[in-house]
Amino acid sequence: MSSPSKRREMDLMKLMMSDYKVEMINDGMQEFYVDFNGPSDSPYQGGVWRIRVELPDAYPYKSPSIGFVTKIYHPNVDEMSGSVCLDVINQTWSPMFDLVNVFEVFLPQLLLYPNPSDPLNGEAAALMMRDRTAYEQRVKEYCEKYAKPENVGAAVEDQSSDEELSEDEYASSDEGVAGHADP
């Protein structure tokens, strides 16, 4: 059981048996989505986020790559890419940790105790330090808009259609400007 591939299988099965919805991305066991519920007694309560997990070949000796697919407003999560700034995952990972630790301990702790002094989302960090109530209200707005439980599976499609809509808006406004330039 000491080989990385056996450990990867064991950790993935343990995660699936812990009542997390896990959706494989490819045929292999290295990339998958996990649906993650916001912790109770936090502004994230009631939200459900789709998390993309990639396990490196050297897992568990090398940390998994974790990113939010569903938009979230948090100082330590990049709003555009979903990248997570979390020391335990990024710097102090140990083979003693497993995937269940990520979803039952590390991510809930990240959401419960944001660190605005090490931000990936500078706007969220500044708002949190300046006005905690307004910050928590913005978190709840993002939960309501993006992290509804019924929308979690459609997160990838929703984001791509939003981007297409934005591009269409830019294209139509450019045509209007070009049309006015010619007499």
Helices (H), 147-181: 155-181
Distance CA 76, CA 83 (A): 8
Backbone angles phi, psi at 182, to 5 degrees: -85, 125
Contact indicator for 111, 74 with CB cutoff of 8 Å? yes
3-state secondary structure (DSSP) of residue 77: strand
Residue 20 burial (CB < 10 Å; 0-12/13-18/19+)?
A: middle
Active-site annotation holds for 85: yes
The radius of gyration of the chain's CA atoms, rounded to the nearest angstrom, is 19
Q: Which residues pair with 68 in a beta bridge?
A: 51
Residue of 85, 125, 127, 128 marked catalytic = 85
Residue located via tokens 């049309």: 179
List residues with catalytic annotation: 85
